[in-house]
Amino acid sequence: MQTTKSSLAFRTLGAIGVVYGDIGTSVLYTLKEVFGSGHVPFTHANVYGVLSIVFWTLTIIVSLKYVVLVLRADNNGEGGLVAMLALASQSVKDKAPALRKWMLAIGIFGTCLFYGDGVITPAITVLSAVEGLDVVSPTFRRAVIPLTLLILLGLFLLQKRGTAGIGRFFGPIMVLWFLSIGALGVYHIAGHPEILFALSPHHALRFIAHQPGTTFIILGAVVLCVTGGEALYADMGHFGRQPIRLAWFSIVMPALTLNYFGQGALLLAEPAAVANPFFHLAPDWITLPLVGLATVAAVIASQALISGAFSVTKQAIQLGYLPRLQIQHTSTWDTGQIYMPFVNWALFVMIVLAVVLFRSSSNLAAAYGIAVTLDMTITTVLTFFVVRYGWGYPLALCVAATGFFFTVDILFFSSNLLKLVEGGWFPLLLGGLVYTLMMTWKRGRELLNKALQDTALGLAEFLESLFVAPPARVDGTAVFLTSEPGIVPNALLHNLKHNKVLHEQNLFVTVCNHETPWIGMDKRLEVESLGHDCWQVMVHYGFKNDVNLPRALSNITGRGIKLDPMGTSYFLSREIVMPTLGRGMAAWREKLFAQMHHNAGAAAEFLNLPSNAVVELGGKIEI
């Protein structure tokens, strides 16, 4: 029992450090943007009303929707929009195939919006923390942008070393952060304890009733208080449902509430503090250390999102929506810790562009919200299908439960549409570009596979005719990779044509990726004998499994196959795609796909094949 308690405590500490970085730093800018917008007249009643709206937004969206409901939708212990999409699509697979296709498109678009959020969130978080220097002294104002860019550069340079070394400090530092912001809140609440009456929802309802137009407008700023809400669900596989819930209700939610209400008490006493209410909470002598702590917390929040971008990209690759990219494992023990150079530096360039383009956290706040609220809406829609068709709950209950959250999500999304021209276009543009790339790659792969199948020979018939007058056979094992089982790989045809030999053993291997997070080793392989020491092998992976083909094939020994790693050669077919007018996709998409295909990472590296045992053969193919 003691071990279980220790494990729970350790995972809860980890969840505080990784899961709640974004939402934990939202206190830096939320109330500043709500009151700084100029839409809310500065009165006692309005301060109470805004605080009540913020508190009940946290309660409804985070506590009830994500922590209570959505965290129940685990896909073999995994969470996140990709896992939810897999659950939802599987639940309607046999009932509504057309709906499943639509659902996949919507879910993938939501995944693409993650990248837009992944650019805005680190930019606004780090920039808002460094802007605290302006509170210390206006002379620091010119240093804010350069220092922000320098901190971000250092953060992205560290990515290739992995988070294992610094990750152990995330939890304790974030606990210190939450204790600090809670203490600052208590300090000011003690001077105006009546501010706690804003916990009552009637203050929010009264504000909404008296100022419905203003309420609708400020929802675009209120949504900043739930930045990183999706991380609660996305990181469930790392920490588990119970630690995430325990961390939220025991530390994170109380600390955030105390700090927001402390900022409210400060504004009642000093309305001039509205320029940056968070940093004005601290006495002058502690402001500079608070800026340092806020910056470290902002870096931690950004680190969690960058790591999430690596994981989401890897999942998209294995689901067939992106070409292969270089993946480096940064931990010997934790296979989930990866580094992707292309994603890392593409994300950095976009974040730098966002900082330079918008130049302040207030301007970035105008860009934030559309992508995340649309993501939240998509999550709610997918949750309905999981609850209704996956769990089998009554229709009326499903509509009532998810319909309420859907209404809240739509209100926030609609409010954020008002910020479209001011900057909301930026994350939508990024998400749209990624979506175009993903859908072009997915469709291009379908066209390429169809073109290969149209010209392909059946494997069983080919082998039967081949062994009527068999070629010379040489020692060793040949592994031929093929995208579809049952067809002759082009690499085999080229090998027979040019080398005129066949190996002693021949494995025709197809790697299959599935819409499930994990597939165990007991279900990894399917082996079918084709005669003449030839076998058809299917290798199965979930979208979170690490692909290592030699390791998977090592388990094939004992099924009539003697696999010697030193005597095994891997033959890969590498096609050169030739776009063709009037066929398949639009001309520009075919050219885009051809370029993506040409620049895709090497299959040998992605499959973890030994570099000295790989032979690539191929030719041109039209789509």
Question: What would the 3-class secondary structure string for 19-87 be?
Answer: CCHHHHCHHHCHHHHHHHCCCCCCCHHHHHHHHHHHHHHHHHHHHHHHHHHHHHCCECCECCHHHHHHH
Mean pLDDT for 367-396 is 90
CB 324 within 8 A of CB 132: no
Tens-digit pLDDT profile for residues 54-110? 999 999 999 999 999 999 888 777 788 888 888 888 888 777 777 888 888 888 998
Q: Tell me the pLDDT band of 163, cut-offs 50, 70 and 90.
A: low
Model pLDDT, residue 368 = 85
- How far apart CA 291 and CA 311 sit, in angstroms, is 30
Nearest 5°: phi and psi at 73? -85, 70
Most confident of 221-225, 494-498, 583-587: 221-225
Model pLDDT, residue 91 = 84
- Comparison of pLDDT for 153 and 315, the residue scoring more: 153
> In the numeric block, which tokens belong to residue 153?
């550069």
Model pLDDT, residue 118 = 83
Of 328-332, 401-405, 408-412, 515-519, which range is least confident? Answer: 328-332
CB 364 within 8 A of CB 220: no
Q: Using CA atoms in the order 221, 225, 231, 233, what is the torsion angle rounded to 10 degrees?
A: -100
In percent, the amount of the chain with pLDDT more than 90 equals 50
> In the numeric block, which tokens belong to residue 266?
């400060």
Q: Tell me the pLDDT band of 2, cut-offs 50, 70 and 90.
A: very low
In percent, the amount of the chain with pLDDT more than 70 equals 96
Model pLDDT, residue 515 = 77
- How far apart CA 257 and CA 444 sit, in angstroms, is 49
Nearest 5°: phi and psi at 491? -60, -35
Q: What is the DSSP string of 481-529?
A: E-SSTTB--HHHHHHHHHT-EEEEEEEEEEEEEESSS---GGGSEEEEE
Of 18-27, 98-107, 211-220, 561-570, which range is least confident? Answer: 98-107
> In the numeric block, which tokens belong to residue 427?
């994350």
In angstroms, the first-to-last Cα distance of the chain is 61
* Alpha carbon separation from 469 to 316, 482, 530, 571, 592 (Å, rounded): 45, 24, 17, 23, 44
Model pLDDT, residue 331 = 61
Tens-digit pLDDT profile for residues 184-209? 999 999 999 999 999 999 999 999 99
> Which strand ranges, in their side-by-side order, compose the sheet holding 614-617?
525-531, 534-542, 501-514, 472-481, 568-573, 614-617
Q: Tell me the pLDDT band of 142, cut-offs 50, 70 and 90.
A: confident
Model pLDDT, residue 5 = 67
User: Which of 376, 439, 355, 423 lies closest to 156, judged by CA?
Assistant: 355
User: Which of 175, 186, 150, 121 lies closest to 293, judged by CA?
Assistant: 175
Task: State whether residue 458 is helix, strand or coil.
Answer: strand
> In the numeric block, which tokens belong to residue 41?
């007249």
Q: Is the dihedral of CA 108, 309, 301, 113 positive or negative?
A: negative
- How far apart CA 241 and CA 80 sit, in angstroms, is 12
Most confident of 122-136, 314-328, 407-421, 573-587: 407-421
> In the numeric block, which tokens belong to residue 308?
């999430």
Q: Tell me the pLDDT band of 1, cut-offs 50, 70 and 90.
A: very low
Q: Is the per-residue pLDDT at 394 higher than 60?
A: yes
Model pLDDT, residue 3 = 43
Q: What is the DSSP string of 302-359?
A: HHHHHHHHHHHHHHHHHTTSS-----EE--SS-TT-EE-HHHHHHHHHHHHHHHHHH-
Report the DSSP beta bridge partners of residue 514.
Answer: 542
Of 2-16, 19-33, 351-365, 596-610, which range is least confident? Answer: 2-16
Q: Is the per-residue pLDDT at 168 higher than 70?
A: no
Task: State whether residue 619 is helix, strand or coil.
Answer: coil
- How far apart CA 36 and CA 29 sit, in angstroms, is 10
Most confident of 239-248, 310-319, 434-443: 434-443
State the amino acid at position 126 in one-letter form: V
Of 27-31, 290-294, 382-386, 576-580, which range is least confident? Answer: 576-580
User: Which of 61, 348, 403 lies closest to 226, judged by CA?
Assistant: 61
Model pLDDT, residue 358 = 92
Q: Tell me the pLDDT band of 164, cut-offs 50, 70 and 90.
A: low
Model pLDDT, residue 336 = 58
Task: Kindly report the number of other CB atoms within 10 A of residue 297's CB atom.
Answer: 28
Model pLDDT, residue 471 = 92
Question: What would the 3-class secondary structure string for 462-487 be?
Answer: HHHHHCCCCCEEEEEEEEEECCCCCE
Nearest 5°: phi and psi at 510? -120, 125
Tens-digit pLDDT profile for residues 286-341? 999 999 999 999 988 888 788 888 888 888 888 889 998 888 877 655 555 678 89
Q: Is the per-residue pLDDT at 528 higher than 50?
A: yes
Q: Is the per-residue pLDDT at 459 higher than 70?
A: yes
Mean pLDDT for 109-119 is 88
Mean pLDDT for 109-116 is 89
Model pLDDT, residue 167 = 60
Q: Is the per-residue pLDDT at 272 higher than 80?
A: yes
Tens-digit pLDDT profile for residues 409-422? 999 999 999 989 88
- Comparison of pLDDT for 45 and 230, the residue scoring more: 45
Pairing relationship of beta strands 620-622 and 576-578 according to DSSP bridges: parallel
Q: Tell me the pLDDT band of 565, cut-offs 50, 70 and 90.
A: confident
pLDDT, the chain, mean: 88
User: Which of 490, 480, 501, 488 lies closest to 553, judged by CA?
Assistant: 480
Question: What would the 3-class secondary structure string for 176-219 be?
Answer: HHHHHHHHHHHHHHCCCHHHHHHHCHHHHHHHHHHCHHHHHHHH
User: Which of 371, 375, 405, 410 lies closest to 387, judged by CA?
Assistant: 405
